[in-house]
Amino acid sequence: MHLNLIFFALEFSFLLFFCMLVVIALIILSCQIMIIIKMLLPGRRNRNQESTADDVPPGSRGLPLIGETIQFVAAINSSKGFYDFVQTRCLRYGNCFKTNIFGQTHVFFSSTETAKLLLKNDSGKFTKRYLRSIAQLVGDQSLLCASPDHHKLIRHRLNNLFTTKSLSLFIKQFDELTITTLSDWDQDGGTVVVLKEALKITFKAMCKMLMSFESGEEVEMMEKDVADVCKAMLAFPLKLPWTRFYKGLQARKRIMKTLEKIITLRRSGLDACNEDFLQYLVTEDKEDSANETLRLTDTEIQDNILTMIIAGQDTTASAITWMVKYLSENQEVLDAVKIEQLKLAEQLTSTKSSFLTLQDLNNMPYASKVVKESLRMASVVAWFPRLVLQDCEIEGYKIKKGWNVNIVARSIHFDPMVYNDPNKFNPSRFDDYDSKPYSFLAFGMGGRTCLGLNMAKAMMLVFLHRLITTYKWKVIDSDSSVEKRAMFSRLKSGCPIHVTRIPPEDVKSA
């Protein structure tokens, strides 16, 4: 009897799986047929699929129901990344176009004027809005997804993490981690993958600063789970066991369970000896216990710790990787920054300073420009989404309530009207740069500017200093293809380099 039931279940599962395959095949076939019809009947396509009214943004609605989701996902899964989807349409329609992705209307803009309008948001007509799949992965209580009022409350509570005192302590911790990590790079042939190493350092640094989480099996598991969450952010939101989205959701559950356990211990006073950001939040909550509106719930704390780990690890590690690649391709820039950093290294030796300080970072004018130029060219966060709260007009076009409007940071960063010779890596462009408002969007702008911008810059400067004063290096794979399905722009190769240690006695003359 039991065997019959098992065989019946297996047969039913196979039949269900076969039916799903047939349905998927039919959908793909119907899409291909519709694409062919559109190609053969251009007049009909223009009349039914593309915006032609003067007061509506130009663009294509794509196929019924799914719009241009297939093309969007195809771009994400290509070596050119998300920006290829935008660039193709910008060439066709200009710096503003309308499309349909995942059943929602999206309008993309690429001008500094509109960036100011949306990101500054004086009118209150817009709020931050990421794809629904991203909200499910980072959590509804995350800064990324919070409503305007809720965002102000959470941001106010998190601000203490980014004070000058906190930043100074973080710089010392990150420098120590960087020195330790780089110490054995010249072992086993002296070949390392920059992205892989940068992800390790930034993850450890964020976990130590946020919750004194440093080593052990739980840390390794969380690092893997955070990576799975990141991989799922732009995945098709299907909750099926074999999909990246499902695996990302399961990883999130495990992270939340770990964070819940840590928070419970902190609130009970059993693990209150750590002076980290989590302890600050828990302590502040006790002091504000009489005012429920000021307290953060455990869910809010968990969602935002995950958000800060992702933001602090993934984006910064990606930017560090691009920076190393750009420097290797521009010898004059590398030579100039090397002179500055070796001079600083000599000063640190003479004063017997073991670790870099905030003051040391402030004495890196050229390196700071290298960091800024790397962030401009990499455009790790390629676009900034907003939800329209009421009907309005932008650039002469009527924009409806409920639409998604997006600022394409990369398009602005590579606009020749904003930056002279934008494809050239030239840190000196910022020497006497009279910046156009809202022309540098590496960290966003306005009320939702990235809280950790100074921390990210600090990590890049510390890493740059230690790399330049410890090794000479050569990039092994110069391919500029981006990693498929990545939320943030990351090098597919990870930037593998071969390093040669600089002898201490040669640092001065290296």
* The amino acid at 29: L
Q: What angle separates helix 453-470 from helix 164-182, to the nearest 10 degrees?
A: 30
Secondary structure tally for the chain: helices H, strands E: 19, 10
Distance between first and last Cα of the chain: 79
The C-alpha angle 460, 462, 464, rounded to 5 degrees, equals 65
Residue 28's alpha-carbon distances to 24, 34, 39, 235, 447, in angstroms, are 6, 10, 17, 18, 43
State both tokens at 379: 């455009």
CB-count burial class (<10 Å; 0-12, 13-18, 19+) for 148:
middle
**Close Cβ partners of 360 (under 8 Å, ≥ 6 residues apart):** 344, 348, 353
- The amino acid occupying position 31 is C
User: Three-state SS string across 445-463, please?
Assistant: CHHHCCCCHHHHHHHHHHH
DSSP 196-227: HHHHHHHHHHHHHHHH---SSHHHHHHHHHHH
| Closest to 439 in 3D by CA, of 369, 371, 367, 372 | 372
The two structure tokens encoding residue 381: 């966060």
**At 203, phi and psi to the nearest 5?**
-65, -50
CA angle 28, 33, 36 (to 5 degrees): 125
b/e code 117-145 from CB counts within 10 Å (16+ = b): bbbebeeebbbbbbbebbebbbbebbbbb
Q: Is 230 a known ligand-binding residue?
A: no
CB atoms within 10 A of CB 413: 21
Q: Which residues are annotated as a binding site?
A: 450
Q: Which residues are annotated as a binding site for heme?
A: 450
